[in-house]
Amino acid sequence: MRAARTAYPLTWRIMDALEAFAAAVWPARFDRAIPWLMLAPALLLVGLLVLGLIQIADTSLRTLDTSTFLMSEEYTLANYNRALTESLFATVAMRSLVGSLIVTVITLILAFPYAYMMVRTSSAILRKLLLIALFLPFFIGQVVRAYGWLIILGNQGIVNEAFGLIGIEPLRLLYNYPAVLFGLVQYMLPFAVLMAAPALTAISEELELAAGSLGADWVRTFAYIVLPLARPGLIGAGIVVLTLSLTDFAMPAILGGGSQDFIANAIYDQFFRTSDQGLGSTLALLLVAIGSLLVGLLFTLFGAGTLAMNKVRR
Amino acid sequence: MTGALSKKIVLWAFVITVLVMLSAPTIVVLGASFTAGNMITFPPEGLSLKWYARIAGASDLRDAFLRSLYVATICTLIAVPAGTLAGIALAKYAVRFQKTVQIYLLLPFTIPLIGSGIGLMLVLGEARLLGQLWPVGVACCVINLPFMIWAVSASAASLDPDLELAAANCGAPPLSTFFHVTLPAVVPGVISGSLLMFILALNEFLVSLLLVDARIVTLPVLIYNSIRSIITPDLAAISVVFIACAAAAVFLLDRLVGLDIFLKSK
């Protein structure tokens, strides 16, 4: 008997011990709590963000005492008053909102044909190439990409040098609004294509062929078949692009050169330039609110698109 | 077939525009890193590897890169168990308040990054944890956690629950079933999720910028600080490190799970 027992592999005996341990500390009648036990680490991690929001809300209700540089003890709404009345913040908010809307429209127009080509092409090599071209910048990070644009668009950059060769005066291509929007479009393209592509995959190619055989040219097929069926993907992509570009920091900071601040830059400046944590927190909380309202509005207007929760599970 | 031809031309015009936009910065940074001159000019003043020699000897750049690696490692080490368990739980069990839990777990994506970053900065400041590096890893994990949960729950949803019942029927106790049936089925999701978590934490910029001080800057923050003053080719050379890491990640992702997985309709 003893010999047979030692013949068990070590891993079996370890597993047996673990099972016995698990059964002892976790009797079967607690089974209903198992999913919650498995969710607990993730819930706790995200809890840090909730704590952060509470902390922001608390700080936003305190004003900065400019003589002592301490936050006031009692709560006041003075920061909200300042954030909503000072024209600087209205300018920045309008710039961000209009900018992100323009970026969303341009990005969707550019991303849709790319996603269509990627899904529909019969060449596996072309599909892989398009996918790699998409993922590489996505993984490289914003700062390096913005750095690349600085080299290309700078005063002594590639574009201006090329202009010089054909006799065009150097143009100031950086540190203006279009430069920021251009950088944002480039940053958002991978997100938009990856959100739109699954919706295009779901459209059967026979539908397009059928439209064609009934006499529709490709423009009409696109307008009446592909675009309406791809709507969930386009809405999902639009929401992601809109919220990400509305709240972006790096592109306005690097390609805007401080003159084209978006909301995120204004918040950063309140914390690290003027050290007014109260006002900075107020702006941050307002941004969270604007972002959530915008997403909620789009959800109610167009539906949740590919972002819908029930689609994540079968 | 003029219709088919015009469709081809229009589609290709868009695709090439996007390809150029996506690739231009990468190609230009690669090219600039090999210049022999002291400035980034066009056309380049000859080829050399001198800027690579320069960054190999620059301890601040090397330290910043090591710190970024450390942050990405911490992030991945936390995200893999937390995200895997949560992903399996969401896909397998009908939890009460399922909708609420899902919305809650998506908070890192719905709260703007600057809001998350400021909030974490205030919380870490209260806890006297600012100025250390490991909280930055935790923060990167929190803001990207939905990627990990998504990847795992997508894999887990395609696992037939009958397989687990079959294992139990053959006498496997719960833990054995978990380790031999459930976990192997979600491995593709765990791999793609952890790759995403690692690479996103490696080049995470904004949250790093908010949480680090001058002594512990990570590489993206260092590059950001430098391009605000003067643009020299050594920055291009160090940026190539990021490009190489991204290329490795794309290659691995393609090899291990296939990039085509992202085209599948849900």
- pLDDT for A310 equals 44
> With a cut of 50, which residues of chain A have pLDDT below it?
1, 309-314
Question: For A192-218, how does the pLDDT look when each residue is reduced to its tens digit (9 = 90+)?
Answer: 999 899 899 999 889 999 998 998 888
Question: B58-263 has which CATH code?
Answer: 1.10.3720.10
Residue A77, H or E segment: none
- pLDDT for A115 equals 95
- High-pLDDT (> 70) share of chain B, %: 95
| Chain B residues within 8 A of A267 when measuring between CB atoms | 114, 118
- pLDDT for A253 equals 93
- Residue A75 falls within a domain, yes or no? no
Residues A90, A127, single domain; the answer is: yes
- pLDDT for A164 equals 83
Give the residue extent of every domain in chain B. 58-263
Report residue B204's pLDDT band, with 50, 70 and 90 as the boundaries: very high
Q: Measured between alpha carbons, how far is B161 from A64 in angstroms, rounded to an integer?
A: 57
Q: Are the beta carbons of A254 and B138 separated by less than 8 Å?
A: no
- Residue A70 falls within a domain, yes or no? no
| Chain A residues within 8 A of B175 when measuring between CB atoms | 15, 18-19, 22
- Residue A81 falls within a domain, yes or no? no
Q: Are the beta carbons of B25 and A118 separated by less than 8 Å?
A: no
Domain end call among A10, A25, A60 = A60
Mean pLDDT of B229-241: 82
Per the structure, the count of domains in chain A is 2
Q: Are the beta carbons of A114 and B15 separated by less than 8 Å?
A: yes
Q: Are the beta carbons of B220 and A143 separated by less than 8 Å?
A: yes
Select the residue of A132, A150, A198 nearest B265 (Cβ to Cβ): A198
Q: Are the beta carbons of A19 and B145 separated by less than 8 Å?
A: no
Report residue B261's pLDDT band, with 50, 70 and 90 as the boundaries: confident
| Chain A residues within 8 A of B105 when measuring between CB atoms | 42-43, 46
Please give the DSSP secondary-structure letter assigned to residue A123. Answer: -
- pLDDT for A157 equals 79
- pLDDT for A6 equals 61
pTM, two decimals, is 0.89
Report residue B54's pLDDT band, with 50, 70 and 90 as the boundaries: confident
Structural domain containing residue A112: 86-312
- pLDDT for A285 equals 94
Q: Are the beta carbons of A46 and B231 separated by less than 8 Å?
A: no
Residues A199, A152, single domain; the answer is: yes
| Chain B residues within 8 A of A186 when measuring between CB atoms | 21-22, 25
Select the residue of A19, A145, A185 nearest B25 (Cβ to Cβ): A145
- pLDDT for B249 equals 93
Q: Measured between alpha carbons, how far is B124 from B118 in angstroms, rounded to an integer?
A: 10
| Chain B residues within 8 A of A185 when measuring between CB atoms | 21
Q: Residue B208: is it exposed, middle or buried by C-beta count within 10 angstroms (0-12/13-18/19+)?
A: buried
- Residue A109 falls within a domain, yes or no? yes
- Residue A68 falls within a domain, yes or no? no
Mean pLDDT of B207-214: 92
Where are the strands (E) in chain A, listed by range?
A: 64-65, 70-71
For residues B144 and B154, which has the higher predicted lDDT (pLDDT)? B144
Omega of the bond leading into B43 within 30 degrees of 0 (cis): yes
Give the residue on B whose Cα is nearest the Cα of A282: B115
For residues B123 and B110, which has the higher predicted lDDT (pLDDT)? B123
Residues A60 and A82 sit within 8 Å (Cβ to Cβ): no
Residues A226, A125, single domain; the answer is: yes
- pLDDT for A129 equals 94
- pLDDT for A4 equals 56
For residues A87 and B262, which has the higher predicted lDDT (pLDDT)? A87
Domain end call among A60, A77, A109 = A60
Residues A90, A54, single domain; the answer is: no
Report residue B52's pLDDT band, with 50, 70 and 90 as the boundaries: confident
- Residue A47 falls within a domain, yes or no? yes
